[in-house]
C-alpha cells in the first residue's frame, strides 16, 4: 500500500514574538521590515518552487529574530521562527521546526520536530553559509541573495531570486 504525505508546516513553541498563522498578506506584513535573503526558484523540470528564504530582523543588542521559509515543491505561507546573534558579519541562528504531516489514506496526523541551525556571513547583498535541518538531505553551502520581499509577496514577474 502506498502512503502519501501531505506536508503542512506549522510553527512550534519558539515564537519569538512572530506568531501568526500565515496567509500571504500576513507574511507580507510580518516581513515588511525585515531583510530578505533568497535562493528560491521554480524548477524547470517540475515547475515546483524550491530553495530557502531567510527573513532577518536585527536588534540593537546584536540579537536577531528570523523566519526561515523552506520550499520543497510549493511556496509555504508560514516561516519557521528562529532566533540568533550577529557579530560583525557572522550570523548564527537556531531553533526547532515543528512540522505537522497528514498521512493518507488514514488521515493520521504525524508531528515531527527538526533542529534547525544556520550559520554564515551576512552583508547587505548576500548570505553565504549553511542551512542545516535535522533529517534533511541537503546541508551544503547556500548562497542567498538580498531581495525586497519573500516569495508569496512577489508579483509573478518578480519571482526570480
Q: Has residue 25 been placed in a domain?
A: yes
Integer Cα distance of 81 and 13 in angstroms: 9
pLDDT band for 155, please (50, 70, 90 cuts).
low
Which of 1, 20, 3 is closest to 103 using CA atoms? 3
Q: What is the total count of domains within the chain?
A: 1
Distance CA 85, CA 61 (A): 9
pLDDT per position as a tens digit, 11-31: 332 233 333 344 566 889 889
R_g of the chain computed on alpha carbons: 16
Q: 5 versus 116: which is more confidently predicted?
A: 116
pLDDT attached to residue 23: 56
135 part of a folded domain: yes
Whether 161 is covered by a domain: the verdict is no
pLDDT at 8: 32
Domain assignment present for 137: yes
Contacts of 45 (CB under 8 A, 6+ apart): none
pTM (two decimals): 0.78
Give a yes or no: residue 73 inside a domain: yes
Average pLDDT of every residue of the chain: 81
**Block residue for cell numbers 533529517:** 135
Specify if 89 maps to a domain: yes
The residue segments making up the domain with residue 72 are 4-155
Cell (9 digits) for 105: 489514506
In a domain, 45, yes or no: yes
**Is it the case that residue 5 has pLDDT exceeding 70?**
no
3-state secondary structure of 23: coil
- Is residue 160 situated within a structural domain? no
Amino acid at each position: 500500500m502506498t502512503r502519501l504525505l501531505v506536508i503542512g508546516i506549522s510553527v512550534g513553541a519558539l515564537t519569538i514574538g512572530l506568531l501568526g498563522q500565515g496567509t500571504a498578506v500576513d507574511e507580507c506584513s510580518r516581513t515588511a521590515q525585515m531583510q530578505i535573503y533568497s535562493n528560491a526558484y521554480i524548477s524547470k523540470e517540475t515547475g515546483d518552487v524550491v530553495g530557502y528564504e531567510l527573513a532577518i530582523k536585527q536588534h540593537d543588542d546584536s540579537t536577531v529574530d528570523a523566519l526561515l521559509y523552506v520550499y520543497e515543491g510549493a511556496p509555504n505561507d508560514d516561516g519557521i521562527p528562529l532566533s540568533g546573534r550577529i557579530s560583525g558579519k557572522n550570523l548564527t541562528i537556531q531553533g526547532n521546526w515543528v512540522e505537522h504531516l497528514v498521512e493518507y489514506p488514514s488521515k493520521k496526523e504525524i508531528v515531527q520536530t527538526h533542529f534547525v541551525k544556520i550559520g554564515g556571513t551576512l552583508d547587505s547583498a548576500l548570505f553565504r553559509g549553511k542551512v542545516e535541518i535535522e533529517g534533511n538531505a541537503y546541508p551544503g553551502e547556500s548562497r542567498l541573495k538580498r531581495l525586497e520581499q519573500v516569495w508569496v509577496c512577489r508579483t509573478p514577474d518578480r519571482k526570480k531570486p
